[in-house]
Amino acid sequence: MPRSATVHRAVTAATLGLALALAGCASDGPGGTAPSGGGETGGPSSSPSAAPRITESAAGKDACGEGECFSLSVSGDFLLHEGLWRQAEADARTTGGGQDGLDFGPLIAAQKPYLAQADLSMCQMETPLADAKGPYSAYPSFNVPPQILPAAKAAGYDACTMASNHTIDQGVPGVERTRKALAAAKLGSTGGNLTEAESKKPAIFTSSNGVKVAVVTGTYGLNGIEPDVPWRVDTLDAPTMIAKAKAARAAGADIVLANMHAGEEYASVPNEEQTTTAHALVDSGQFDLIYGEHTHSVLPIEKYKGTWIVYGLGNNLTELSPWYPVNNEGLMVNAVFGKKGEKWTVTTLRWAPSLIVKDPYRWCPVGTVNPAPTCAPAAAAAESRARTTETVNSMGADKDGAVEWKIAP
């Protein structure tokens, strides 16, 4: 059965406890007592009468078949510019909703049918968050409205990665504000650290149906900004990520994901750093799926030695670029995992193409079958879909079994 956004709790009680603690003590700064944002403690009851740890997946029987199943959704960068928060202002005046005069909900409302089919949905918070009343700023030094996060939670997201080239645009205060806002929105997080101890601890989230999922993330760089301490932001380093994945396995993770923030902007192919790192992670035997973002363009999907690599998810939400059509496109990827013995593997990999449109700004699905077929103009949707499909399949994804994610209106 599809999960209910009003009752779903994607992260563990320990992680939510952390969120409350963080919200209350964020002013302590990086030297304070806030515990880790991603790790979890405890586990299921060992009582013979305890309910099964893993329950039915939101993906449903048609996607899962028989046996234990887990459905993951991942999407690209939340990259906010002034045009988007101006749209959120206009929408708040219309809906009367949102917080502090901004309602980002309508911009991403069309994502809900996709996220409803996932047991864990991961977003990427590309930039630091400001205080609710601002001041806000966009490129090159971002400081964006935190009101995007309650909208993301309402749409169905459960946690966000934070490691990006913009993570420390606003220094340590920006990391602290972002972590506090994520906690307040009841969204888990990983990639931006408040303490050295938490930087070494793997982030493990428990899905709505009880699967323990570790997310190991890293960024290629920080735009030349030197962090105050080396551990402030998780970096793209295969040996470090592999070590953290092993720690996650030892801590009880059922599934381990790698998230790479890397690549050449507006490219249509992964660069050498992406392929070399991704292949090294797969070769370690520690990762069940690898996905990435950063390039502000959709990149190919590859099946390497039996493991799926989604090189680039494009943008989730962004202002339109008049120069780079690929900037306005993205992917929502759904990986359905099945369990054989003690091993979880991806049994189905599905992807849904998307396009940002303007007047008003909206995230629109543009697949051949999608739940909002009139969201984007038909000609623009067809052109974007064709471009995205060609790129996604350029490394053989379709031949290896990846399919378009189709949801009927």
Listing DSSP states for 170-237 in one string gives THHHHHHHHHHHHHHTT-EEESB-SSHHHHHSPEEEE-TTS-EEEEEEEES--TTPPPSSTTSB-B--
CA proximity to 76, closest of 359, 312, 385, 372: 312
User: What does each C-alpha distance from 237 to 167, 213, 271, 302, 347 come to in angstroms?
Assistant: 17, 20, 15, 20, 28
pLDDT of residue 209: 97
pLDDT of residue 49: 53
Segment 364-385 mean pLDDT? 98
pLDDT digits (tens, 9 = 90+) for 72-97: 999 999 999 999 999 999 999 999 99
Q: Assess whether pLDDT exceeds 70 at residue 168.
A: yes
Percentage, residues of the chain above pLDDT 70: 88
- Average per-residue pLDDT for the chain: 90
pLDDT digits (tens, 9 = 90+) for 238-282: 999 999 999 999 999 999 999 999 999 999 999 999 999 999 999
pLDDT digits (tens, 9 = 90+) for 30-69: 233 222 333 333 333 334 456 678 999 999 999 999 999 9
Segment 188-197 mean pLDDT? 98
> Which phi and psi (to 5°) does residue 71 adopt?
-120, 125
Coil, strand, or helix at residue 347? strand
pLDDT digits (tens, 9 = 90+) for 198-233: 999 999 999 999 999 999 999 999 999 999 999 999
pLDDT of residue 50: 61
